[in-house]
Amino acid sequence: MKTRRAWIAGLTTAVIVALGLLLAGSPKVGANTQQPATTEVKIDNFSFTPAVLTVPVGTTVTWTNRDDIPHTVVSADDPKMFKSKAMDTDEKFSYTFAKPGRYSYFCSVHPKMTGTIIAQ
């Protein structure tokens, strides 16, 4: 009888350990750890690089001024969807494109500097 109890106890322990290992290795259901997408546009040599950028809807675009003079990022839409302050060297401006569309923008200090974000 002691042998049977020991066998059952050993089997029960093995099953509990196996279930614990199985559950520990499984992904957490419902846990969404995906971060929103982000991407960068560089402002350098009086231009936006890339000049045209296609991103998924929900992406945050960050413009970084790498020039030695101030620049802005201003939506060409009316009313303006986004507008940065004048950014000095290494300053940044970000905007999240929540809806699909084609968004043209320019530098208000240097209006010939233009770019486009396509959110799809």
Tell me how far apart the alpha carbons of residues 84 and 71 are, in angstroms, rounded to a whole number: 9
Return the pLDDT at 36.
57
Q: How many helices (H) and strands (E) does the chain have?
A: 1, 8
Spell out the per-residue pLDDT of the chain, length 120, in tens.
566 565 455 545 554 544 444 445 544 444 444 555 779 999 999 999 999 999 999 999 999 999 999 999 999 998 899 999 999 999 999 999 999 999 999 999 999 999 999 999
pTM for the full predicted model:
0.69
- The residue extents of the domains of the chain are 38-119
The CATH number fitting domain 38-119, selected from 3.10.20.30, 1.20.140.10, 1.10.274.10, 2.60.40.420: 2.60.40.420
